[in-house]
């Protein structure tokens, strides 16, 4: 990226965990940056926006639909009863999310941001703002503002000083940087840019107003071929103007009805359901041309010159050719996880098909957001919202290309002192953060390494289950005492050791953290904790599954605490196993953590929706035992994920076929089969090619016992995959 500010934004987004408020004047590249990030970032992200149309334009979903929030204001302190009331798929997405992108953040009210924080804490880390998710907030506070009704304002006034997003209590607890883009790509005339900047800040000079008002021509009637569009403050003004102009045209009126497929909410319709046109009508394209020709773009003005079968013929000012416009498609999506790649992807719920055109003699300033016009007539005499005049003026590429229908008075330029004060404060803080960027990147590496050996959430889950047993399950004194012993052992063998090891990580120099010897020590530490956890938790989880009580509240809490502990153990165990074999890098760690979490959730919460539970819980998975059916279990008892894989293999299916059928990675399937090879129930050469088995075992045997995993892997022939190597390594008797 040539632009330094955009490059800084990329560095913060991709290589740190610091949240970002990306702002800037109209036409500075905010939308382009979001597109680039979505295409090239290695982080798992979702994009949300406050309105349906904004979400469709950003390629995301609405805030309310994703987080299942009511339309009513959120009152701080509101609690939710059930942590498992989201569907499994959404829980999986939230638990493995790296970044939440919120587009058009200027429209997001402070209470809505706190509602998002509430949901993320519920499904992730309750001690961290937004559950520890990195935020990327994109928007311009000098443009669109949050909608606050008098009733909402009265309700929220006791809790918030301002309705703007920066009034969010959670955001005020969050470390974030403001990056302001300053290079304007839309306008080239510096004098016009200076005028726009002054209007944006709410401090236009007398000279600015004089130059603007020199463009005031109340009786101006443009020639049709010039393609002027009128920007108005209210919908009724724009609609009335378009209807009148269409009525003036002679000839037949054509009506094109949109095709709506499956789920597509009316509030998110990106175009007119019934598009009414005549030959000669002035229209605006509302979508970019997806063809290689790129004949039109969102906001381009033209005129209808004819109609053909399935096409509308449009000619734009200055062109010596016409454009044959065909229907376009917009998708309504939701996020889902691709079971093969484990990547968060948009999943199409419905489609809206219509010609990407709208009548364009007039448009509201609000709907012109993000568009660029060569020629525009601005009627802002009835402006009523902060930033409205600035948005209108900044749609124009040049001062010469705009005409004012009425003079702009100082009262028409509505500013907000709260916004100006906030931006000023953030700008000074941003400069400090940018100076510290290299250190922040290294700190991010250290933080991720530190997180690998953070066992406090697991320890807390065990403590919470123990307290629950003490309160509601007194009829199981041995079980309760057993968990007390497990807590003592966990503290001694895991927590205390981890704290000492994390202290070493904290004190090691930046260079030292990347040294091969240190990274090998990281692997050995992971192996130590795998062994330590396996000595205590699988047996405790297995024995606890039988516990029950007639107390309804006790069973509800037990279901939650049991799942929390089981999920925390499985995900940590699988993560440590992966990092025991993989050199530590931030990207490798993040991917391993996500996949470990997803695999664990598939075991703990296999259904697509949370189950109604009475007095039993699901049983845990361990490599040493298969599951037993619990009292009052479902009709078909659930089977260990390892046993499911083994059963399919005994039926004659290959590991690759099993991976495809179970929607798991091949490496995961091979790991399921390791215990059966180690115990002699399956021969390794029945799973992978016999020659590869010999080659891998020979390579391992030729090296000394203290050889690193990387050395052993490097000694294997080129055709051996990492999954095959680790499969043989873990299943060899010397590695049991």
Q: What is the structure's pLDDT at 617?
A: 31
Q: What is the structure's pLDDT at 45?
A: 92
pTM (two decimals): 0.67
Q: What is the structure's pLDDT at 607?
A: 53
Q: How many domains in the chain? A: 4
Residue 352 and residue 294 share a domain? yes
Residue 700 and residue 554 share a domain? no
Q: Which residue has the higher pLDDT, 628 or 224?
A: 224
Whether residue 423 is contained in a domain is answered as no
Q: What is the structure's pLDDT at 734?
A: 43
The arithmetic mean of pLDDT across residues 348-362, rounded, is 92
**What range does the domain containing 533 cover?**
455-604
> Is the per-residue pLDDT at 183 higher than 70?
yes
The arithmetic mean of pLDDT across residues 393-411, rounded, is 86
Give the up-direction half-sphere exposure of residue 313: CA atoms within 13 A in the CB hemisphere: 9
| 453 burial via Cβ count (<10 Å: 0-12, 13-18, 19+) | buried
Q: How far is CA 73 from the centre of its chain?
A: 23
Residue 231 and residue 310 share a domain? yes
Residue 226 and residue 166 share a domain? no
Residue 271 and residue 212 share a domain? yes
Q: What is the structure's pLDDT at 87?
A: 78
Among the candidates 347, 381, 412, a domain finishes at: 412
Among the candidates 555, 586, 604, a domain finishes at: 604
pLDDT digits (tens, 9 = 90+) for 262-315: 988 887 888 899 999 999 999 999 888 888 888 888 888 999 999 998 999 999
The arithmetic mean of pLDDT across residues 466-473, rounded, is 92
Among the candidates 134, 158, 186, a domain finishes at: 186
Residue 358 and residue 221 share a domain? yes
pLDDT digits (tens, 9 = 90+) for 544-566: 887 888 888 888 889 889 988 99
Whether residue 588 is contained in a domain is answered as yes
Residue 345 and residue 310 share a domain? yes
Q: What is the structure's pLDDT at 735?
A: 39
Q: What is the structure's pLDDT at 413?
A: 76
Q: What is the structure's pLDDT at 85?
A: 62
Residue 173 and residue 282 share a domain? no
Whether residue 287 is contained in a domain is answered as yes
Please say whether the dihedral angle defined by the alpha carbons of residues 208, 214, 216 and 221, taken in this order, is positive or negative.
negative
Residue 322 and residue 238 share a domain? yes
Among 3-7, 398-402, 492-496, top mean pLDDT goes to: 492-496
Question: Which pLDDT band holds residue 619 (cuts at 50, 70, 90)?
Answer: very low
What integer best gives the mean pLDDT of the chain? Answer: 83
Residues 6+ apart with CB under 8 A from 45: 37, 38, 97, 98, 99, 100, 101, 136, 344
Residue 318 and residue 217 share a domain? yes
> Is the per-residue pLDDT at 249 higher than 90?
yes
Q: What is the structure's pLDDT at 1?
A: 52
Question: Which pLDDT band holds residue 610 (cuts at 50, 70, 90)?
Answer: very low
pLDDT digits (tens, 9 = 90+) for 623-673: 333 332 333 333 334 455 677 888 888 888 998 898 888 877 777 788 788
The CA distance from 462 to 76, in Å, is 29
Whether residue 65 is contained in a domain is answered as yes
Question: CA torsion 477→478→479→485, rounded to 10°?
Answer: 110
Whether residue 617 is contained in a domain is answered as no
pLDDT digits (tens, 9 = 90+) for 677-724: 766 778 888 888 888 888 888 888 887 766 666 677 788 888 888 778
The arithmetic mean of pLDDT across residues 92-114, rounded, is 92
Q: What is the structure's pLDDT at 635?
A: 34
pLDDT digits (tens, 9 = 90+) for 473-528: 888 899 999 999 999 999 999 999 999 999 999 999 989 999 999 999 999 999 99
Residue 545 and residue 464 share a domain? yes
Whether residue 35 is contained in a domain is answered as yes
Residue 230 and residue 162 share a domain? no
Residues 6+ apart with CB under 8 A from 403: 215, 216, 217, 220, 222, 228, 375, 376, 377, 378
Whether residue 437 is contained in a domain is answered as no
Whether residue 681 is contained in a domain is answered as yes
CA distances from 280 to 247, 259, 317 (A): 11, 25, 13
pLDDT > 70 fraction of the chain, expressed in percent and rounded: 89
């Amino acid at each position: 990226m040539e632009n330094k500010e955009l490059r800084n934004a990329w560095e913060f987004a991709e290589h740190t965990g610091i949240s970002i408020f990306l702002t800037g004047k109209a036409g500075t590249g905010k939308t382009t940056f979001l597109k680039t990030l979505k295409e090239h970032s290695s982080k798992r992200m979702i994009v949300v926006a406050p309105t349906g149309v904004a979400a469709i334009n950003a390629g995301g979903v609405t805030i309310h639909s994703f987080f299942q929030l009511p339309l009513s204001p959120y009152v701080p302190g509101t609690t939710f009863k059930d942590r498992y009331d989201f569907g499994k798929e959404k829980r999986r997405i939230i638990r493995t999310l790296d970044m939440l992108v919120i587009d058009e953040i200027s429209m997001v009210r402070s209470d809505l941001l706190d509602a998002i924080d509430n949901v993320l804490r519920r499904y992730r880390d309750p001690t961290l703002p937004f559950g520890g998710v990195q935020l990327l907030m994109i928007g311009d506070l000098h443009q669109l503002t949050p909608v606050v009704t008098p009733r909402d304002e009265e309700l929220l006034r006791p809790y918030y000083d301002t309705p703007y997003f920066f009034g969010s209590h959670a955001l005020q607890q969050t470390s974030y940087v403001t990056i302001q883009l300053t290079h304007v790509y839309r306008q080239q005339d510096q004098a016009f840019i200076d005028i726009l900047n002054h209007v944006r800040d709410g401090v236009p000079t007398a000279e600015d107003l004089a130059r603007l008002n020199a463009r005031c021509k109340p009786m101006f009637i443009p020639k049709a071929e010039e393609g002027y569009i009128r920007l108005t403050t209210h919908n009724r003004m724009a609609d009335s103007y378009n209807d009148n102009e269409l009525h003036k045209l002679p000839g037949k009126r054509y009506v094109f009805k949109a095709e709506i497929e499956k789920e597509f909410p009316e509030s998110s319709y990106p175009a007119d359901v019934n598009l009414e046109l005549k030959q000669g009508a002035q229209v605006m394209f509302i979508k970019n041309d997806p063809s290689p020709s790129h004949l039109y773009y969102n906001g381009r003005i033209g005129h209808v010159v004819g109609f053909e079968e399935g096409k509308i013929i449009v000619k734009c000012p200055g062109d010596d050719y016409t454009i044959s416009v065909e229907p376009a498609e917009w998708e309504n999506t939701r996020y889902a996880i691709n079971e093969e790649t484990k990547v968060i992807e948009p999943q199409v719920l419905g489609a809206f098909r219509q010609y990407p055109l709208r009548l364009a003699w007039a448009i509201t300033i609000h709907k012109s957001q993000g568009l660029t016009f060569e020629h525009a007539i601005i009627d802002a005499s009835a402006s009523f919202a902060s930033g409205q005049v600035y948005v209108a003026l900044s749609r124009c590429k040049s001062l010469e290309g705009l005409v004012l229908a009425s003079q702009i008075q100082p009262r028409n330029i509505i500013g907000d002192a709260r916004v100006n004060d906030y931006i000023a404060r953030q700008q000074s803080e941003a400069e400090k953060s940018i100076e510290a960027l290299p250190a922040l990147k290294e700190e991010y590496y250290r933080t991720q390494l530190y997180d690998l050996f953070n066992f406090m959430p697991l320890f807390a889950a065990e403590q919470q289950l123990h307290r629950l047993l003490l309160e509601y399950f007194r009829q199981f004194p041995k079980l309760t005492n057993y968990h007390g012993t497990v807590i003592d052992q966990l503290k001694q063998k895991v927590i205390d050791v981890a704290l000492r090891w994390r202290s070493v990580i904290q004190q090691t120099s930046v260079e030292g953290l990347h040294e091969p010897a240190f990274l090998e020590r990281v692997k050995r530490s992971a192996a130590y904790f795998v062994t330590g956890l396996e000595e205590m938790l699988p047996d405790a989880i297995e024995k606890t599954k039988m516990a029950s009580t007639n107390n309804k509240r006790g069973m509800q809490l037990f279901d939650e605490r049991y799942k929390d502990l089981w999920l925390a153990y499985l995900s940590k165990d699988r993560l440590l196993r992966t990092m025991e074999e993989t050199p530590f890098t931030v990207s490798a760690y993040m991917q391993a953590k996500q996949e470990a979490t997803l695999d664990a959730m598939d075991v703990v919460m296999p259904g697509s929706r949370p189950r109604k539970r009475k007095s039993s819980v699901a049983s845990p998975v361990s490599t040493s035992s298969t599951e037993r059916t619990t009292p009052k279990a479902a009709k078909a008892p659930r089977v260990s994920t390892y046993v499911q894989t083994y059963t399919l293999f005994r039926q004659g299916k290959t590991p690759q076929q099993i991976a495809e059928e179970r929607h798991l990675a091949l490496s995961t399937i091979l790991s399921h089969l390791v215990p059966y090879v180690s115990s002699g129930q399956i021969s390794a050469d029945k799973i992978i090619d016999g020659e590869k088995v010999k080659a891998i075992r020979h390579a391992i045997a030729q090296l000394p016992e203290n050889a690193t995993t990387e050395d052993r892997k490097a000694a294997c022939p080129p055709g051996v995959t990492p999954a095959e190597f680790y499969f043989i390594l873990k299943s060899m008797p010397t590695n049991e």
